Amino acid sequence: MRRGECNDAGVGVPDLPLAAVGEPHLRDLDPLQVSLLAAATNLPLFLFGIPAGGFADVFGPWKILLGAQIWMVAFAMATVFMLQGGMLGPSMMIVPTFVLS
C-alpha cells in the first residue's frame, strides 16, 4: 500500500446482520431471516458490480459515486424513520440491507 492510501477492510458489511439481531425491534428474527440478511449484504456486489463499472466508464466515476452516495443517504434516512415509526418489521429489514449494500 502506498503512502496516503486507505485500505477498506469491509468491516461494516458483516455488522449488518449483527446490528439487526441486536436492535430491540428486530430481536425475534429466526436463523433463516438472519442468513437472508447476511446474503443480502453480498448479493448486490454480484448483481451490480460489473454494470456499475460499465456505467462508470460511460458517465465518469465521480458522477456514479456521487449518485450512489446520495441514494444511500436518502434510503438510510428513510429506513431509520420507518424503523423508529414501527413500520419496518424483522422480515422487511432484508430489503434495506440489500439496497444499502
On the question of pLDDT at 1 being above 90, the answer is no
Tell me if 55 is assigned to some domain: yes
Write down the pLDDT at residue 33.
Answer: 76
Report the number of distinct structural domains present in the chain.
1
Tell me if 21 is assigned to some domain: no
Write down the pLDDT at residue 27.
Answer: 63
To the question of pTM greater than 0.85 for the whole model, the response is no
Q: What is the tens place of the pLDDT at every residue in 2-42?
A: 554 444 444 444 555 555 555 555 566 677 877 787 788 78
Q: What is the tens place of the pLDDT at every residue in 49-71?
A: 888 888 989 999 899 889 888 98
DSSP string, the chain: --TT-------HHHHHHHHHHHSGGGTT--HHHHHHHHHHHHHHHHHHHHHHHHHHHHH-HHHHHHHHHHHHHHHHHHHHHHHHTT---TGGGHHHHHHH-
Tell me if 6 is assigned to some domain: no
Domain of 72 in residue numbering reads as 29-100
Tell me if 22 is assigned to some domain: no
Tell me if 13 is assigned to some domain: no
